């Protein structure tokens, strides 16, 4: 089958394209922003990319158009598809019907930590010899790729598939969350906060979508639920038809608990019984909770907790998750995907735990749809409190322009914070402030104009 993908350069749709190609389909695609690294990754797979959404692309005569949620009514190519009555489907629906059918799907849902937890879970299954398929919204360093079909050697395709399960809506014609399409059997509900202010009016609306996911999990399936999250407890209280295990519970409570050592190791307990100790380089309580969820989910498919704990000792994290991009003149520069205030706070806290009293220079681009709307701006100062200096960047024009005053939002931080609308000015300000021994933490869910390398060049 020939499929043509609209919006192919997004992390989900790009991963779908790779999986479709591996499954034997002819794959082409288009997007408004066709540039590296996604363009080069896809072209290396033999996938033809077209810049823009010209209506003439219908002349490729694919068997099916697969539509990403970046496409809306008024898109020239989409209008031509509709006018001609050509066959189309959303990316998540195509994924559910063509890749995930007949798989044991392990879905990782939550406001934060989906990518890291999915990567942990895929690695635990790989380490156990399961060779799972996966689709992850980042590049796990243990694999070097974000998506694959999976194989168990002589027996053909692996029956197990790990997927990052996003609550964002499916397409302009299907406003359900993506994850309802995935035919989940093991569901991690990692955490739940208000986010995606561009499509959800409040937290209750997101809780409803999470319960739609719960409704799709079969009776022989299992929910792995964060026991510390009131919103998730409300979700499950609406109705649960599957097995359930909670993680992050207090010692002595049913489920999975942990106990942290001063050096970062942590003990894992299930039903009060010690399962082993995770020894790794990652920091932060959020990562320990992610690990606990991955251990619990892996156990549902037959991986003993002790084996999962051993695997996590060799886990190498994910690109853009506290990734050290380099050092120059004694100044380390990190890249992190954090963009929600809670994620920013946990990321800064994780680095603080790692570097002790050394100075942290936080460089932030609030460019997610939620942040651009200003919904979370009041929470920004508190999320950055542990940083020594803060450099905020807010474009005044273009698709990533803020609709609010960043300098005003950062004002509660006083003299330690500054806002910029020109990238070069921000780079020069960081260069002037930085000194040997400092740690520069760059946080954005976009490319941030290549600021990481610009900082390293300037510092050198």
Write the pLDDT tens digit of every residue in 244-289. 999 999 988 999 999 999 888 999 999 999 999 999 988 888 899 9
Q: What's the rounded Cα separation, in Å, for the pair 229 and 305?
A: 23
**Mean pLDDT, residues 204-209:** 94
Residue of higher predicted confidence among 402 and 351 = 351
> In this structure, which CATH number among 3.90.190.20, 2.60.40.10, 1.20.1530.20, 3.90.660.10 belongs to the domain 323-459?
3.90.190.20
Helix (H) or strand (E) holding 207, with range, is helix 203-216
Greater confidence (75 vs 200) lies with 75
Q: Convert the pLDDT of each residue in 39-94 to its tens digit.
A: 777 888 889 999 999 999 999 999 999 999 999 999 999 999 999 999 999 999 99
Q: What is the pLDDT of residue 224?
A: 98
Q: Is the peptide bond before 170 cis (omega within 30 degrees of 0)?
A: no
Out of 3.40.1500.10, 1.10.3720.10, 3.40.50.2300, 3.40.1190.10, select the CATH number for domain 100-312.
3.40.1190.10
pTM: 0.80
> Taking a C-beta distance cutoff of 8 angstroms, is the pair 11, 146 a contact?
yes
* pLDDT reported for residue 154: 62
pLDDT-wise least confident of 292-301, 363-372, 380-389: 363-372
The reply, when asked if residue 112 is annotated as ligand binding, is: yes
* Edge-first strand listing for the sheet containing 222-226: 147-148, 133-135, 160-164, 104-109, 184-189, 222-226, 243-247, 256-260, 266-270, 273-278
Interatomic CA distance for residues 439 and 67, integer angstroms:
41
102: left (phi over 0), alpha (psi -120 to 50) or beta: left
Task: Answer whether 100-312 and 323-459 agree in fold.
Answer: no
Q: Where are the domains of the chain?
A: 2-91, 100-312, 323-459
Query: Do 251 and 269 meet the contact criterion of CB atoms below 8 Å apart?
Result: yes
Of 290, 289, 293, 257, nearest in space to 275 by CA:
257
pLDDT above 70: residue 397: no
- Considering only CA atoms, which of 112, 80, 96 is closest in space to residue 4? 80
By DSSP bridging, strand 266-270 and strand 256-260 are: antiparallel
| Contact (CB, 8 A) for 455 and 427 | yes
CATH superfamily of 2-91: NAD(P)-binding Rossmann-like Domain (3.40.50.720)
CA dihedral 240, 241, 242, 243 (to 10 degrees): 70
Q: How far apart are CA 251 and CA 272, in angstroms?
A: 7
Q: Is 196 annotated as a binding residue?
A: no
pLDDT, one tens digit per residue, over 440-453 is 999 987 778 889 89
382 annotated ligand binder: no
DSSP codes, 346-399: HHHHHHHHHHTTS-EEEEE---SHHHHTTTTGGGHHHHTTT-SEEEEE--SSST
Confidence (pLDDT) at 304 = 97
61 annotated ligand-binding residue: no
Confirm whether residue 111 is marked as ligand binding. Answer: yes
Q: Is 216 annotated as a binding residue?
A: no
pLDDT tens per residue, range 420-435:
989 999 999 999 999 9
Residue 287 · residue 351 · CB < 8 Å: no
Is the pLDDT reported for residue 157 higher than 90?
no
If you average pLDDT over each of 36-50, 142-156, 227-241, which comes out highest? 227-241
416 among the known binding-site residues? Answer: no
Measured CA to CA, the distance from residue 347 to residue 387 in angstroms comes to: 10
């Amino acid at each position: 089958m020939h499929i043509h993908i609209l919006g192919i350069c997004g992390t989900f749709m790009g991963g779908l394209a790779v999986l479709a190609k591996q499954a034997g389909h002819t794959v082409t695609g288009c997007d408004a922003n066709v540039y590296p690294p996604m363009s080069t990754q896809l072209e290396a797979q033999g996938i033809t990319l077209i810049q823009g959404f010209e209506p003439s692309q219908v002349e490729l005569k694919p068997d099916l158009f697969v539509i990403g949620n970046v496409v809306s009514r008024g898109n020239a190519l989409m209008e031509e598809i509709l006018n001609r009555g050509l066959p189309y489907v959303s990316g998540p629906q195509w994924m559910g019907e063509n890749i995930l059918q007949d798989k044991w799907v392990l879905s990782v849902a939550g406001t934060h930590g989906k990518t890291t937890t999915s990567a942990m879970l895929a690695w635990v299954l790989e380490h156990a010899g399961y060779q799972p398929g996966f689709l992850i919204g980042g590049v796990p360093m243990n694999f070097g790729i974000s998506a694959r079909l999976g194989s168990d050697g002589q027996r053909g395709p692996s029956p197990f598939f790990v997927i990052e399960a996003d609550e964002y809506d499916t397409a302009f014609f299907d406003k359900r969350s993506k994850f309802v399409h995935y035919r989940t059997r093991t569901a991690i509900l990692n955490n739940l906060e208000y986010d995606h202010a561009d499509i959800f009016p409040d937290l209750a609306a997101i809780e409803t979508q999470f319960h739609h996911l719960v409704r799709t999990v079969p009776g022989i399936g299992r929910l792995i639920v964060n026991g510390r999250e009131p919103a998730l407890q409300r979700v499950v209280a609406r109705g649960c038809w599957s097995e359930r295990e909670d993680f992050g519970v207090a010692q002595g409570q049913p489920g999975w608990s942990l106990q942290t050592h001063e050096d970062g190791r942590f003990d894992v307990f299930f039903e009060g019984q010690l399962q082993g100790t995770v020894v790794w380089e990652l920091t932060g309580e959020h990562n320990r909770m992610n690990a606990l969820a991955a251990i619990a989910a892996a156990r549902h498919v037959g991986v003993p907790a002790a084996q999962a704990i051993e695997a996590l000792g060799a886990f190498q994290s994910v690109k853009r998750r506290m990734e050290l991009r380099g050092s120059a003149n004694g100044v380390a520069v990190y890249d992190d995907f954090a963009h929600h205030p809670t994620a920013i706070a946990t990321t800064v806290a994780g680095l603080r735990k790692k570097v002790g009293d050394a100075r942290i220079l936080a460089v932030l681009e609030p460019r997610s749809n939620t942040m651009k709307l200003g919904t979370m701006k009041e929470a920004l100062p508190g999320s950055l409190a542990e940083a020594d200096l803060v450099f905020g960047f807010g474009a005044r024009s273009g698709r990533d322009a803020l609709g609010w005053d960043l300098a005003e939002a950062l004002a509660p931080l006083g003299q330690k914070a500054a806002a910029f609308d020109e990238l070069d000015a921000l780079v020069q300000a960081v260069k002037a402030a930085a000194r040997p021994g400092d740690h520069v933490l760059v946080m954005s869910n976009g490319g941030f104009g290549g600021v990481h390398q610009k900082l390293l060049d300037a510092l050198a």
